[in-house]
Amino acid sequence: MNTTKTKTMVKPCVKCGAQDRNKRGQCKPCRKAMAAAWYLANKERAKSKATSAAWRKNNPEKAKAKDAAYRKANLYRRNTHEAKRRAAKLNAVPTWGNNWLDKIKIQELFLIAKIRSKVEGIQYQVDHAVPLQSDLVCGLHCFNNLQILPASENISKGNRTWPDMP
């Protein structure tokens, strides 16, 4: 019995064609050369990157607070991602409704829900009008099946109701 694992389909480096490449597609020497070139072309940014890294190191508490604030401000992005991930698990992400424009439109819904929550002082959620999971129907994760609802309504709705219910 053959117990050795053979590496299948090792794609070559996109720059030089060497056989060992990382996830981003380049081999180590090419990656290094690219990093050096970036540094030369972006010295100011490299400097400010180094400065902020040093600041983080010296102000761990402040950096933590800053990260938390950033996460909070960008929660809608995370929610967008999570909703898609949940739907993907259920095979409910159609290929036709997953192009860049749909992705942006869906992300906008989550952003609008966030803004509405802030303005009105009640929690809004993005909901699948036809539920992804129910005994009777299988909704899809696509722009046309998403709606913004107050969280209270979304919770009472559960997966028991949908538009054009028999």
Q: Which residue has the tokens 């992005």?
A: 77
Contact segment (CB under 5 A) with Zn ion among 18-26, 34-42, 95-103, 107-115 equals: 18-26
**Measured from the CB atom, is 33 or 63 closer to Zn ion?**
33
Amino acid at residue number 101: L
Contact segment (CB under 5 A) with Zn ion among 22-30, 65-73, 120-128, 129-137 equals: 22-30
Contact segment (CB under 5 A) with Zn ion among 15-23, 39-47, 121-129, 139-147 equals: 15-23
**Measured from the CB atom, is 27 or 113 closer to Zn ion?**
27
Q: To 5 degrees, how large is the angle CA 65–CA 69–CA 74?
A: 150
- C-alpha dihedral (31, 37, 41, 47), degrees to nearest 10: 70
| Interaction of residue 31 with Zn ion, rule CB under 5 A | no
Which ranges of the chain does DSSP label H, i.e. alpha helix? 28-41, 43-58, 60-73, 75-89, 100-120, 151-157
Residue in 109, 164, 159, 102 with CA at minimum distance from that of residue 136 = 159
**Measured from the CB atom, is 13 or 142 closer to Zn ion?**
13
Binding residue (CB under 5 A) for Zn ion from 27, 92, 93, 130: 27
Number of residues that bind Zn ion (CB under 5 A): 6
